[in-house]
Structure 1
């Protein structure tokens, strides 16, 4: 299968940058524009009509599980320890049951087209093993510091540059078997693929906001309301 037909939403994190807001709930249940972050992410995922949507959980999992009951998703619960993005995706592979998948971080906001649709329009399974959706720093609201990547004329990425990773990608999860540790970041896989010329970037044409800290909520709501920050 060369086209992604499953979506992984990362929702297991502790949300420590949110401070007191995550004392009684996981970060994906913090509201932006009147709705929990996880619901915004589920809207994006459901609109591409995947065969499966999987959400991983760990911190305050019981609260998130209750919220997800009516959403028709599968849950990959990391009961013993949080596995980070790479380990979490590897752990969820049996539930995803797909050769290539979308992954999505819920703690961001988007103004523009569906990021998953943008990724799909640029995906080429023959030439790529991972396609990261990026945005220039000039359209990355709330970004602290510079970019993460740069891309050449063929869209292949390297570390450093003006492109910020937005938290959305298409990736072939079987490649995670190359990494033996149970807990690891997706950065570990990306570095392998960058060295092999198999990691690429697609540029998001809209505006993106980091909602990882409390001030990100206000910034995101201003962005979505078309009010300058």
Structure 2
């Protein structure tokens, strides 16, 4: 029987980091230093805090550099070759390592200033009514965000497309629906959409600040945010 609470974490680290321009010419984006540490280590700290049974990191671009860094970090590697599989395809490819039951998934290009996002999701997760729970940040607290929001939520927290809530990149998902998707490489949007239609995808609002470190300017903004958070 599958566990009701998440026991595994999937961290996305396979992308090309094209928005980082020259910074990712010879380095995968998760290895870019932020406040003196590789970007992915900030996410790993948060993930380890919930003591998951397994943490899986997917790799593709400059995979050998990332794998060398991670080999002493207590994580499993899901290497996507020859083609990159996007978020949904990457998650399905990693399922043999992640196991059954709901999983946390996390991007590796954001910095959080405030409560641990994984701990917040764990406390709010209700598998009886939820197929997914996404941590979202109001646009006013989304540092470095370029463009508008992604979602809105009703009084119960059920998500709809469009609004001033920014998808922060950390969530809990049930993965059963992945098996019915025909594409090899696909976004988790294909998993979210049926959940939205069935009113089983929920938003949890983050009370702190979040910084997008997907572009070069985000590095300085993230370091400023972390310095302020340490005060």
Question: What's the secondary structure of 1:226's corresponding residue?
Answer: helix
Is 1:167 the counterpart of 2:169 in the alignment? yes
Question: Residue 4 of structure 1 contacts residue 98 of structure 1 at CA under 8 Å; is this kept in 2?
Answer: no
Q: Give the whole-Å Cα distance in 2 for the aligned partners of 1:125 and 1:178.
A: 20
Structure 1 position 34, deviation (Å): 0.6
For residue 177 of structure 1, the aligned residue among 176, 179, 194 is 179
Residue of structure 2 equivalent to 1:120: 122
Question: What's the secondary structure of 2:169's corresponding residue?
Answer: strand
Structure 1 unmatched runs, 5+: none
Structure 1 position 23, deviation (Å): 0.8
Structure 1 position 141, deviation (Å): 0.4
Is 1:224 the counterpart of 2:226 in the alignment? yes
| TM-score, normalisation: structure 2 | 0.97
For residue 49 of structure 1, the aligned residue among 33, 51, 60 is 51
The alignment's C-alpha RMSD in Å is 0.9
Q: Give the whole-Å Cα distance in 2 for the aligned partners of 1:49 and 1:59.
A: 28
Q: Give the whole-Å Cα distance in 2 for the aligned partners of 1:143 and 1:7.
A: 25
Q: Give the whole-Å Cα distance in 1 for the aligned partners of 2:59 and 2:102.
A: 21
Structure 1 position 53, deviation (Å): 0.3
Structure 1 position 226, deviation (Å): 1.4
Question: Residue 6 of structure 1 contacts residue 98 of structure 1 at CA under 8 Å; is this kept in 2?
Answer: no
Residue of structure 1 equivalent to 2:12: 10
For residue 188 of structure 2, the aligned residue among 174, 186, 195 is 186
Question: What's the secondary structure of 2:228's corresponding residue?
Answer: coil
Structure 1 position 187, deviation (Å): 1.1
Structure 1 position 98, deviation (Å): 2.9
Residue of structure 2 equivalent to 1:197: 199
Structure 2 unmatched runs, 5+: none
Q: Give the whole-Å Cα distance in 1 for the aligned partners of 2:180 and 2:140.
A: 35
Superposed CA deviations along residues 16-67 of structure 1, whole A, max 9, x for unmatched, are 0001110111000001111001111111111100000000000000111111
Superposed CA deviations along residues 90-135 of structure 1, whole A, max 9, x for unmatched, are 0000100131000011100010011001111111001010101001
